[in-house]
């Protein structure tokens, strides 16, 4: 398995070493090893049930790794609670809509200040500058927003805090292509600002367009990893089980 | 005019206390998705603690007040959250109901255990009843304190939940604790804080009430329960609507005191909050209840007809052999327990199979006993049993009709209100307060009129009812009930008539409870209205839950547990106080094993069967289990 090139002397933004994880008695990650260079976009691809979301949950502290190591910026973070990780800059966007249906847009921004470490005014300025639509709807309940607006609101959490590591779990799910393009533009902008992004997608093409590096998972293991163009070529073989 | 003013002021003060209570319920519900049935009991416990500090230990009033409200009350919330609520994460609504009811009983048991209930206790009034004239009308400082507390709490809660970050996070955590964590806040800490806030509000209303009502467990708890109506008016969500509702209920209650001149109306006045609760539940479009994830508890497999027959024969034979050996007292207690077992079977049918939580089974018991008393005469005419079934079934339909569209929590609240109303109006009215009704025993022709023969008769009735229940469970109606319990929406799409099924199961269960009640009260020969208190319905439900709500075995185990405890109590009266405590604690453990003891037995039996089916490879059957 080729290891991604990481600049010497600088620890990778995220490193997984032989991570195993299970739900109850069923193991779903059978030794995942990954390494992501700082300020890059890494796409994690694979079919349903491959363990992509679980990998993100392990990094975000929602699922405990049964063995193996998770390093964020060179620090061992196994066993840290999700909220603690969030406060030190690991921002995980859960699958589906990462918003609270019964809170208004403005109230969401208030909650984002827990991890952002900046004032409420600052969070509002950054969000409304990037998503003017949310400014119009600041008094509206999130549950009544459109799917795209909800995803914008969810993404505003990443904008607010300038996290060190952004974990995105299928942000394109159920959204119109135009909205998806818009969201990925934000992802690209965040990466240019120096934020490391790990994104999980089922739609390989969208993800590979923004990624600097990619890997494909099946059956709880990383099968191949490499540059997006290499992955694109090998993708169907991995999905169909030829390459393993 | 002065009278009007007088009752308005008192009504507003009472309304303010309801408002405090109801706000606490709404706070807990909006922040944790759990309706805390023990809210009233928490307030009651705080009132007793306050009495202990203030009167028994002679603390100064401010110190005792602040210690209870500022230290003990939040600590209770934190402990409750840690021990009971956290393990309930993602559990079915029904289970949260049972666990908080268990807490309710535990607190009542704890208070009766710690403080001797035969002593009369008076909590001194705040500010020694000094008063001030406002617009020519004298108002005591104590009344002002209540009003000020309610206003401060109302404004404070509004600011907390709309303006502060922690308040907003409290509202957020109920919908998605993981997202709250992802946003960098600690969801467990937030949940803890909201429970602490809820118990503090309950305690505040309890302590403010203590000088106004006498310090007795049940009435004090019930006054706080009256706040339920206001909370439901606020649809468990809106604090302003809750406060308005509380004031309305308080005023209505006191105007009825002031202007009613008949004894009947005075009785009605006692249940104004319950009537309000019932009406609100029926009239208001219920807000969507917070649905927990589809956390289906697997139902134990019903016993086979052969097993049912074997156990029935064994039960009757055991009753025939053991009965004559028992002392007169023990035999009566055992008969009482077995008859109560029949009532418990009615709860298995309604709640265990049908998934409809009812908190008024003892009301049907009372109606059954009442019918038997009137129709059965002194000879125990069998028509009395028919009348018992019919009267109870009629009332069952009466409760079921207006509550057809209610489920889970709202149905439980409606039946609770019904039980309380029947308890206060019907039974006290027809039996007189503390009055009793003669209930004769029915003996089939040719059976000697002895205690031991009656015991065998009860065993036969229990066996028949149990076998009948199992037959229903295996038949088409049982399948319909299971489907109704799992998903009413899916039933409707399949073309099943949900309403008819619900009415039928309510009527059948009430009829069974009525017959059980007639047989039950015939053991001592008379029934008094104390036997049918709303609280007894809660105890009964919790006992069956502990035994196992969805198995006949569970009802039998619950009856056996009850009997064993009663026998123990008759020999060692000191343990009597512990019954509520033990039942409550038992119910609280259900969060971890929802099918109760009966479920465990069914599991063990299934494993045994599997082993016997594959005797040579036991490891295979284990892997399947």
Give the rounded percent of residues in chain B with a pLDDT score beyond 90.
39
- Integer angstrom CA distances of residue A12 from A37, B65, B548: 5, 57, 55
Size of interface A-B (CB pairs under 8 A): 68
Give yes or no for residue B571 having a pLDDT over 60.
yes
- Burial of B133 (C-beta count, 10 Å sphere; 0-12/13-18/19+): exposed
Span A105-128, pLDDT tens digits: 999 999 999 887 788 899 999 899
Per 3-state DSSP, chain A is made up of helix, strand and coil in percentages (nearest 5) of 40, 25, 35
Q: Which residues pair with A167 in a beta bridge?
A: A92, A198
Region B158-173: what's the mean pLDDT? 93
A100 touching B, CB under 8 A? yes
A239 touching B, CB under 8 A? no
Task: Kindly indicate the confidence band of residue B536, based on its pLDDT and cuts at 50, 70 and 90.
Answer: confident
Task: Kindly indicate the confidence band of residue B624, based on its pLDDT and cuts at 50, 70 and 90.
Answer: very low
B259 CA to centre of own chain: 32
A41 to chain B nearest CA, in Å?
Answer: 20
**Predicted pLDDT of residue B617:** 45
Angle between helices B552-571 and B451-474 (to 10 degrees): 150
B39 to chain A nearest CA, in Å?
Answer: 25
A121 touching B, CB under 8 A? no
The minimal CB distance from B165 to the residues A94, A102, A113 is found for: A113
Give yes or no for residue A100 having a pLDDT over 70.
yes
Q: Do A103 and B168 touch (CB under 8 A)?
A: yes
A164 touching B, CB under 8 A? no
Task: Kindly indicate the confidence band of residue B598, based on its pLDDT and cuts at 50, 70 and 90.
Answer: confident
Give yes or no for residue B293 having a pLDDT over 70.
no
Closest A-chain CA to B162:
A107
- Integer angstrom CA distances of residue B591 from A195, B84, B90, B103, B344: 44, 8, 11, 12, 21
**Predicted pLDDT of residue B625:** 34
A81 touching B, CB under 8 A? yes
Spell out which residues of chain A touch residue B179, defining contact as CB-CB under 8 Å.
94, 98-100
Q: Do B175 and A114 touch (CB under 8 A)?
A: no
The minimal CB distance from B172 to the residues A87, A92, A100 is found for: A100
Give yes or no for residue B292 having a pLDDT over 50.
no
B606 touching A, CB under 8 A? no
Angle between helices B578-588 and B552-571 (to 10 degrees): 150
Give the rounded percent of residues in chain A with a pLDDT score beyond 70.
94
Q: Do B182 and A112 touch (CB under 8 A)?
A: no
Query: Could you give the CA distance from residue B344 to residue B549 in angstroms, rounded to a whole number?
Result: 9
A188 touching B, CB under 8 A? no
Region A205-228: what's the mean pLDDT? 89
Give yes or no for residue B442 having a pLDDT over 80.
yes
Closest A-chain CA to B181:
A83
B166 touching A, CB under 8 A? no
Give yes or no for residue B180 having a pLDDT over 80.
yes
B186 touching A, CB under 8 A? yes
Region A156-184: what's the mean pLDDT? 86
**Predicted pLDDT of residue B287:** 52
B32 to chain A nearest CA, in Å?
Answer: 14
Task: Kindly indicate the confidence band of residue B615, based on its pLDDT and cuts at 50, 70 and 90.
Answer: low
The minimal CB distance from B185 to the residues A62, A98, A114 is found for: A114
Query: Could you give the CA distance from residue B311 to residue A90 in angstroms, rounded to a whole number?
Result: 61
Region B546-572: what's the mean pLDDT? 88
Q: What is the DSSP letter of A47?
A: -
Whether the complex's predicted ipTM surpasses the cut of 0.90: no
B163 touching A, CB under 8 A? no
**Predicted pLDDT of residue A9:** 62
Give yes or no for residue B89 having a pLDDT over 90.
no
**Predicted pLDDT of residue B290:** 47
Structural contact between residues B157 and B27, judged by C-beta atoms closer than 8 angstroms: yes
Nearest Cα neighbor of A199 from A45, A33, A12, A28 is A45
Span B383-407, pLDDT tens digits: 999 999 999 999 999 999 888 878 7
B571 touching A, CB under 8 A? no
Residue whose tokens read 């302590």: B207
Task: Kindly indicate the confidence band of residue B349, based on its pLDDT and cuts at 50, 70 and 90.
Answer: very high
Highest mean pLDDT among B110-114, B288-292, B578-582: B110-114
Give yes or no for residue B606 having a pLDDT over 90.
no
Spell out which residues of chain A touch residue B172, defining contact as CB-CB under 8 Å.
100, 102-103, 107, 111
More confident residue, B243 or B604: B243
Query: Could you give the CA distance from residue A20 to residue A26 in angstroms, rounded to a whole number?
Result: 11
Span B34-64, pLDDT tens digits: 899 899 899 999 999 999 999 999 999 999 9
Span B186-226, pLDDT tens digits: 999 999 999 999 999 999 999 998 888 777 777 777 766 67
Span A185-201, pLDDT tens digits: 888 888 888 899 999 98
B237 touching A, CB under 8 A? no
Mutate to test the interface with A, among B177, B179, B235, B625 (most CBs of A within 10 A): B179
Closest B-chain CA to A101:
B175
Compute the half-sphere exposure of residue B131: CA atoms within 13 Å on the CB side of its CA: 10
More confident residue, A59 or B570: A59
A143 touching B, CB under 8 A? no
Closest B-chain CA to A108:
B168
Region B432-461: what's the mean pLDDT? 86
Give the rounded percent of residues in chain B with a pLDDT score beyond 70.
93
B185 touching A, CB under 8 A? yes
**Predicted pLDDT of residue A142:** 93
Query: Could you give the CA distance from residue B171 to residue B29 in angstroms, rounded to a whole number?
Result: 10
Query: Could you give the CA distance from residue A50 to residue A223 in angstroms, rounded to a whole number?
Result: 11
More confident residue, B24 or B282: B24
* Cβ partners under 8 Å of residue B378, min gap 6: B438, B440
pTM listed for this prediction: 0.87
């Amino acid at each position: 398995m080729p290891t991604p090139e990481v600049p010497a002397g600088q620890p990778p933004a995220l490193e997984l070493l032989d991570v195993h994880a299970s739900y109850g008695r069923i193991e779903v990650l059978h030794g995942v090893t990954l390494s992501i260079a700082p300020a890059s976009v890494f796409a994690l691809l694979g079919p349903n049930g491959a363990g992509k979301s679980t990998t993100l949950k392990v990094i975000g502290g929602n699922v405990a790794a049964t063995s193996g190591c998770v390093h964020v910026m060179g620090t061992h973070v196994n066993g840290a609670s999700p909220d603690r990780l969030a406060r030190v800059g690991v921002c995980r966007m859960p699958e589906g809509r990462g918003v609270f249906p019964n809170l208004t847009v403005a109230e969401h921004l208030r909650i984002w200040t827990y991890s952002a470490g900046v004032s409420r005014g600052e969070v509002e300025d950054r969000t409304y500058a990037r998503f003017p639509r949310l400014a119009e709807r600041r008094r509206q309940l999130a549950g009544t927003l459109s799917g795209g607006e909800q995803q914008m609101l969810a993404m505003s959490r990443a904008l607010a805090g300038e996290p060190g590591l952004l974990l995105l779990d299928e942000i394109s799910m159920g959204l119109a292509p135009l909205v998806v393009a818009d969201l990925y533009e934000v992802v690209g902008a965040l990466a240019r600002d120096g934020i490391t992004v790990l994104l999980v997608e089922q739609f390989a093409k969208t993800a590979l367009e923004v990624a600097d590096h990619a890997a494909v998972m099946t059956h709880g293991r990383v099968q191949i990893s490499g540059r997006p163009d290499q992955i694109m070529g090998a993708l169907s073989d991995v999905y169909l089980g030829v390459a393993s | 005019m002065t009278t009007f003013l007088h009752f308005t002021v008192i009504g507003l003060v009472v309304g303010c206390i309801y408002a405090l209570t109801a706000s606490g319920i709404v706070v807990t519900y909006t922040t944790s998705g759990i309706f805390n049935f023990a809210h009233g009991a928490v307030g009651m416990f705080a009132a007793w603690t306050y009495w202990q500090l203030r009167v028994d230990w002679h603390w100064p009033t401010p110190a005792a007040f602040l210690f209870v409200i500022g230290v003990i009350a939040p600590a209770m919330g934190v402990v409750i959250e840690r021990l009971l609520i956290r393990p309930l994460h993602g559990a079915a609504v029904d289970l949260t109901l049972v666990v908080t009811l268990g807490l309710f009983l535990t607190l009542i048991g704890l208070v009766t255990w710690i403080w001797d209930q035969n002593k009369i206790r008076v909590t001194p009034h705040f500010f020694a009843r000094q008063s001030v004239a406002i617009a020519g009308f004298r108002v005591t400082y104590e009344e002002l304190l209540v009003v000020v507390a309610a206003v401060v709490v109302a404004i404070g809660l509004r600011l907390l939940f709309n303006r502060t970050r922690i308040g907003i996070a409290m509202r957020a955590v109920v919908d998605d604790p993981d997202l709250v964590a992802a946003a960098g806040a600690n969801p467990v800490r937030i949940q803890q804080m909201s429970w602490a806030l809820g118990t503090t509000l309950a305690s505040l209303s309890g302590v403010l009430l203590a000088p106004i009502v006498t310090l007795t467990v049940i009435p004090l708890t019930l006054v706080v329960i009256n706040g339920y109506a206001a909370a439901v008016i606020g649809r468990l969500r809106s604090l302003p609507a809750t406060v308005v509702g509380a004031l309305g209920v308080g005023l209505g209650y006191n105007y009825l005191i002031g202007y009613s001149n008949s004894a009947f109306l005075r009785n009605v006045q006692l249940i104004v909050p319950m009537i309000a609760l019932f009406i609100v539940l029926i009239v208001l479009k219920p807000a969507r209840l917070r649905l927990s994830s589809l956390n289906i508890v697997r139902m134990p497999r019903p016993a086979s007809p052969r097993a049912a027959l074997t156990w029935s024969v064994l039960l009757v034979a055991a009753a025939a052999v053991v009965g004559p050996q028992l002392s007169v007292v023990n035999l009566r207690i055992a008969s009482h327990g077995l008859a109560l077992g029949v009532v418990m079977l009615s709860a298995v049918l309604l709640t265990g199979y049908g998934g409809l939580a009812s908190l008024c089974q003892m009301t049907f018991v009372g109606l059954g006993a009442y019918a038997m008393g009137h129709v059965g005469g002194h000879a125990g005419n069998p028509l009395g049993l028919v009348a018992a079934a019919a009267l109870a079934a009629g009332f069952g339909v009466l409760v079921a009709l207006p509550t057809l569209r209610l489920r889970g929590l709202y149905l439980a609240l409606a039946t609770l209100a019904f039980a309380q109303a029947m308890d206060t109006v019907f039974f006290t009215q027809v039996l007189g307060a503390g009055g009793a009704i003669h209930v004769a025993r029915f003996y089939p022709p040719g059976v000697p009129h002895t205690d031991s023969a009656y015991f065998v008769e009860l065993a036969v009735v229990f066996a028949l009812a149990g076998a009948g229940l199992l037959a229903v469970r295996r038949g088409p109606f049982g399948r319909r009930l299971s489907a109704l319990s799992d998903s009413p929406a899916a039933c409707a799409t399949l073309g099943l008539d949900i309403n008819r099924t619900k009415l039928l199961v309510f009527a059948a269960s009430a009829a069974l409870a009525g017959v059980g009640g007639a047989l039950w009260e015939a053991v001592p020969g008379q029934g008094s209205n104390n036997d049918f208190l709303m609280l007894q319905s809660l105890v009964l439900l919790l006992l069956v839950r502990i035994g196992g709500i969805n198995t006949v075995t569970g009802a039998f185990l619950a009856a056996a547990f009850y009997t064993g405890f009663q026998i123990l109590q008759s020999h060692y009266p000191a343990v009597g106080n512990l019954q509520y405590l033990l039942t409550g604690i038992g119910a609280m453990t259900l969060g971890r094993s929802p099918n109760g003891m009966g479920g465990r037995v069914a599991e063990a039996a299934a494993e045994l069967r599997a082993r016997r089916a594959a005797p040579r490879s036991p490891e295979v059957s284990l892997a399947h289990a």
